[in-house]
Structure 1
Amino acid sequence: MIAHEAGQGRPLVLMHGFELDHRSMLPLESSLADSSWRRIYLDLPWTEQAVPGPVASAQDVADGVVNELRDRLGDEPFAIIGHSFGGMVARHVAHAMRGQVLGLATLGAVFTADHRKRVLPAREVISAALPDQAADDDFLEIAVIQTPGTLAAFNEFVLPGLRGTDQQVTGRIAADYALRREPEAAHPEPFEAPSLHIFGRQDHVTGYEDGLALRDHYVRGTFAVLDAAGHHLYMERPAAVSVLMDDWLTSARAHAPALPR
């Protein structure tokens, strides 16, 4: 499940979205490479490198991540970041392992599993600056900023995971996409570790209203809705995301006990 590691220091776990792989999170390296964190990128069960297993639901994925982190990290404190479906799983991990979680960050996270119940903005493209036929439908259907730069990032970091997805695995999970209980309901005590929740104003996949509704639960939480940003907001607004990430990591580092000498 651990696909890539970089850096040294406290563990920082990164989880990608549905039908993608760890490469979709690598654009964050530009803002994390100089941090004092050991970045641990996970590959979830449908990816090319995943070991086939009986994963049949979102809950199976979430439980598998908890077990993996307990096996690999023991009781070592860590922070966690998740995008989209990975954000839903990260919320589960952060609550289930609350005693050792230094911080939680979500990017365009799933807060309402049932697509029909999500509060979503209308589909909108803010910038379209590509020649005709320059991009395929996978990019055009999701991108809010359609420029050569965002297309290049999509082709390098997102498309390989899409092409390598095991559709049988994602089909089973899609049929049982919700966790048994929402993490905030299963663990209703206020979440006191520093948290960061970034949304795209034009994200028509997961939206932002459902996440904002939980702001009182995350008592050390920063909530940001970025304009001119869709579901892949950290590729469309990298500078803004980097500033917010740096601030959150500073808070999470301060929340940590001192490393042993």
Structure 2
Amino acid sequence: MLPLEDAISGCGWQRIYIDLPWAEGSADTNASGTTHVAEGALDDIREQLGDRPFALIGNSFGGMIARYVAHERRGQILGLATLAGVYEPAHQARSLPRRQVVLEDPAVLALAGQGRADYEEMAVVQSEATLEAFTRYALPGLCGANQSVLEQVASEYALAVEPEVAHPARFEAPSLHLFGRQDHVTGYEDGWKLRDHYVRGTYAVLDAAGHNAHLERPDLTAALVKDWLARISTAL
């Protein structure tokens, strides 16, 4: 999430980043599944904020956790944003585009070093800029992740009940749902299916962007995040 620091801090928001159980140094290594992770996130938020209102943003798996928290604490929620978020937990059931690299550059891959396999697996735009962003912001988390915890969560990856099913009333806080057009990991069509639930949602599918959409299209992502925060401020 750190690539968006300037966009968020420039709008005057306090930021609180929650470590999920597989993060390096996390004390919670007994996660039994996604619901456990989601409840842990709720506990962290209660401890940090009490009953103060807040907005929530999550990337990838964090997008699924953010949706859960936003619906469970709807009375406190000022807004919700998901970036390449998980909307369909079962990978085999997802509507996914074919794997496509929009810009290939073997010279960039040669510079990737030990992170080449992870970068090449995800990169839709192979450039020095996206490699630098991936190496700085994504690779440390991948290298430091507790694999046993990841396996525990993967064994029970779906929430017990999807948030929009558990809380079917339409979500009326300003929201942002950003996807990569070439995201072969979570796709975009499953998220679009919920557009009628998020009645104040901006939906954006960015071309030349995969699962790391915010690293490959940083300026546009930042602009959409700023717009989302401005809409929240207007709604207060």
TM-score, normalising length: structure 2: 0.96
Matches within 5 A, 1:14-163: 25-131=1-107, 133-135=110-112, 136-163=116-143
Higher helix share: 2
Structure 1 counterpart of 2:74, which letter?
A: R
Structure 2 counterpart of 1:228, which letter?
A: A
**Separation of aligned partners in 2, 1:203 and 1:102:** 28
Gaps of 5+ in 2: none
**Separation of aligned partners in 1, 2:234 and 2:215:** 28
Matches within 5 A, 1:140-219: 140-219=120-199
Percentage identity across paired residues of the two chains: 53
Moved over 6 A (4+): none
- Check conservation: 2:18, 2:44, Cα contact below 8 A: no
Q: Which has the higher contact order (CA 8 A, sep 6+)?
A: 2
Q: Tell me the number of residue pairs that the alignment of Structure 1 and Structure 2 aligns.
A: 232
Higher strand share: 1
TM-score, normalising length: structure 1: 0.87
Deviation track 1:42-61 (CA, whole Å, cap 9, x = no partner) reads 11001112004421100000
| Cα displacement (A) at 1:130 | 4.2
- Check conservation: 2:22, 2:29, Cα contact below 8 A: no
**Separation of aligned partners in 2, 1:128 and 1:40:** 36
- Check conservation: 1:202, 1:227, Cα contact below 8 A: yes
Structure 2 counterpart of 1:84, which letter?
A: S
Deviation track 1:161-204 (CA, whole Å, cap 9, x = no partner) reads 11111111111001110100000000000000000000000000
**Separation of aligned partners in 2, 1:111 and 1:208:** 9
SS of the aligned residue for 1:204 comes to coil
Matches within 5 A, 1:217-232: 217-232=197-212
Two-structure CA RMSD over aligned residues (Å) = 1.0
**Separation of aligned partners in 1, 2:234 and 2:199:** 16
- Check conservation: 1:194, 1:221, Cα contact below 8 A: yes
- Check conservation: 2:175, 2:228, Cα contact below 8 A: yes
- Check conservation: 1:130, 1:148, Cα contact below 8 A: no
